[in-house]
């Protein structure tokens, strides 16, 4: 016959944790990694889109934002849902819809406002913690064109709350962001 001596052990050993004690626990905020994908030319990020679809199919909540690309009936109010977990958003108005010689000052302002509106949405999502992965496609082109400020992007990334990864893509990446990154991948043709 086996007898347990746990009761006598607990009462005699003061190093054992008292389970009746009230604990003052706090949640530890843990952010995922910042990953940067750099390429010498635009439109080379199909592998990132493929991976975002796979992650969504596996149950992760993914936000894919193409800041510099537009499309028919795009924008925040017309986000596309794929695999139940992937939200794919493009600008409601973008430079790639027009020939560069046909873009006047008013049109440029309208396009920039569309990109800023999408960026403000992204900031909210980066701070919310609602997604497991957020991809900001061509965010560095928006920086290069002075549509998004470098300080605003740095501040948002530093204060983000996302347990998964934030993926940033672009052709020309400022040094500040290379130093912030946990992973840097250079895509070659």
- What total number of domains does the chain contain? 1
Domain, as residue range, for 77? 27-187
- Note whether residue 19 is domain-resident: no
Query: What percent of the chain is predicted at pLDDT more than 90?
Result: 45
Q: Which of 131, 132, 19, 145 is nearest to 94 (CA)?
A: 145
Q: Measured between alpha carbons, how far is 169 from 185 in angstroms, rounded to an integer?
A: 10
Q: What is the pLDDT of the chain when averaged over all its residues?
A: 83
Q: Which of 141, 156, 119, 152 is nearest to 34 (CA)?
A: 156
Q: Measured between alpha carbons, how far is 48 from 52 in angstroms, rounded to an integer?
A: 6
* pLDDT of the residue at 13: 53
- Note whether residue 13 is domain-resident: no
- Note whether residue 106 is domain-resident: yes
- Note whether residue 37 is domain-resident: yes
- Note whether residue 36 is domain-resident: yes
What CATH number does residue 132 fall under? 3.40.50.300
Query: What percent of the chain is predicted at pLDDT more than 70?
Result: 80
Cβ neighbours around 60 below 10 Å, total? 18
Q: Measured between alpha carbons, how far is 141 from 172 in angstroms, rounded to an integer?
A: 7
* pLDDT of the residue at 189: 67
CB-CB contact of 65 with 119 (8 Å): no
* pLDDT of the residue at 123: 95
- Note whether residue 18 is domain-resident: no
Q: Measured between alpha carbons, how far is 51 from 67 in angstroms, rounded to an integer?
A: 18
pLDDT tens digit string along 112-168? 999 999 999 999 999 998 999 999 999 999 999 999 999 999 999 999 987 789 999
**Of 30 and 73, more confident:** 73
Q: What is the mean pLDDT of residues 27-33?
A: 65
Q: What is the mean pLDDT of residues 64-81?
A: 86
């Amino acid at each position: 016959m086996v007898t347990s001596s746990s009761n006598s052990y607990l009462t005699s050993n003061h190093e054992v944790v008292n389970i009746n004690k009230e604990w003052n626990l706090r949640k530890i905020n843990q952010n995922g990694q910042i990953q940067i994908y750099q390429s010498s030319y635009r439109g080379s990020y199909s592998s990132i889109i493929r991976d975002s679809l796979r992650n969504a199919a596996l149950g992760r909540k993914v936000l894919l934002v193409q800041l510099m690309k537009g499309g028919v009936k795009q924008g925040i109010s017309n986000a596309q849902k794929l695999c139940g977990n992937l939200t794919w958003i493009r600008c409601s108005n973008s430079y790639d819809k027009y020939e560069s010689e046909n873009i006047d000052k008013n049109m440029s302002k309208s396009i920039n406002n569309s990109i800023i509106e999408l960026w403000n949405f992204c900031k909210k999502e980066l701070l919310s913690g609602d997604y497991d992965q957020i991809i900001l496609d061509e965010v560095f082109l928006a920086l290069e064109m002075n549509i998004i400020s470098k300080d605003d992007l740095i501040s948002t990334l530093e204060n983000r709350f996302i347990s998964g990864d934030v993926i940033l893509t672009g052709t020309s990446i400022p040094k500040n962001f290379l130093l912030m990154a946990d992973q840097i991948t250079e895509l070659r043709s």
